[in-house]
């Protein structure tokens, strides 16, 4: 898969140092994976959820949430938001579209 930018991950990790390792682990798994469907994605990321047209990953033992858009055919991933679990719970779904 092609991750469009690592920048949101780095920026979030600069504010939440303990998120750096799990975010970069997620990035490596995404970039090395060949996910053709949501089911294939769930094999590697068992806790990923689909919320409307976005995919929500639990990061760092469910301490953080990563919201992504994924186009499976061209194999492209866009990070839409990286949030603490509390920030995610407060946010409306439309805020991270």
pTM: 0.92
Residue 96 lies in a domain: no
- Nearest residue to 80 (alpha-carbon basis) of 90, 89, 93: 93
How many domains does one find in the chain? 1
- Structural domain harbouring 32: 2-91
Residue 80 lies in a domain: yes
The CATH number linked to 84 is 3.30.2310.20
What does the pLDDT look like over 48-94, one tens digit per residue?
A: 999 999 999 999 999 999 999 999 999 999 999 999 999 988 886 65
What pLDDT was estimated at residue 96?
A: 57
Residue 29 lies in a domain: yes
Distance (Å, whole) CA 41 – CA 30 = 9
Residue 11 lies in a domain: yes
3-state secondary structure of 7: helix
- Nearest residue to 60 (alpha-carbon basis) of 90, 24, 35: 24
What pLDDT was estimated at residue 82?
A: 97
Distance (Å, whole) CA 22 – CA 3 = 16
């Amino acid at each position: 898969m092609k991750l469009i930018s690592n920048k949101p991950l780095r920026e979030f990790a600069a504010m939440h140092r303990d998120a750096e390792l799990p975010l970069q682990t997620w990035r490596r798994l995404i970039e090395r994976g060949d996910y053709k469907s949501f089911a294939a994605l769930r094999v590697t990321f068992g806790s990923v959820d689909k919320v409307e047209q976005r995919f929500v990953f639990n990061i760092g033992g469910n301490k953080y949430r990563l919201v992504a858009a994924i186009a499976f055919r061209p194999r492209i991933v866009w990070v839409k938001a990286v949030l603490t679990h509390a920030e995610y719970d407060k946010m409306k779904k439309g805020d991270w579209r």
